[in-house]
Amino acid sequence: MAVLKKKIPASTLPEVVVASVIWLLFFFLTLNILVYVGTSRTDNSDLLTAEMELLTCRAEAELLGENETVVHSYEWGEIEIRKERYGEAIVRVRLKAVIGKEGKEIGYTYLVFEKNSNQPKR
């Protein structure tokens, strides 16, 4: 075992008490935050389900006619698919999901160039 050749200065009692109180407060606050985060989980299952359904509805949106709107109802809410003319050879597709009684909405809007149009290519 090694022997110390020099004396190490010790802390005084008030310093030790203050340091202990600081560590105790830090531990208490951290524990409260962890308990709060662990118990405050929200149920996002409807949101995730709506997102997946929106992705599957993109293929159906391509099959719709011009200026056509379709609404699908589900347990968690409904999806509205709307296809409308945007330009000469461009169609705008809007997918909107309304979730639950709260009325949360998520959606996508994108433009599609019509391949079968008779427009000259530039």
Q: Where are the alpha helices (DSSP H) in the chain?
A: 13-39, 45-63
- The pLDDT assigned to 104 comes to 85
- The pLDDT assigned to 95 comes to 92
Residue 17 has pLDDT above 90, yes or no: yes
- pLDDT tens digits, one per residue of 27-86: 999 998 888 877 655 567 778 888 888 888 888 888 888 888 899 998 888 999 999 988
Residue 114 has pLDDT above 70, yes or no: yes
- CATH numeric code, 65-122: 2.20.25
Give yes or no for a contact between 97 and 78, defined as CB atoms under 8 angstroms apart.
yes
> Is pLDDT larger for residue 42 or for residue 90?
90
Residue 19 has pLDDT above 70, yes or no: yes
pTM of the model: 0.57
How far apart, in Å, are the Cα atoms of 57 and each of 5, 11, 54, 85, 98? 78, 69, 5, 19, 14
Residue 117 has pLDDT above 70, yes or no: no
- The pLDDT assigned to 20 comes to 95
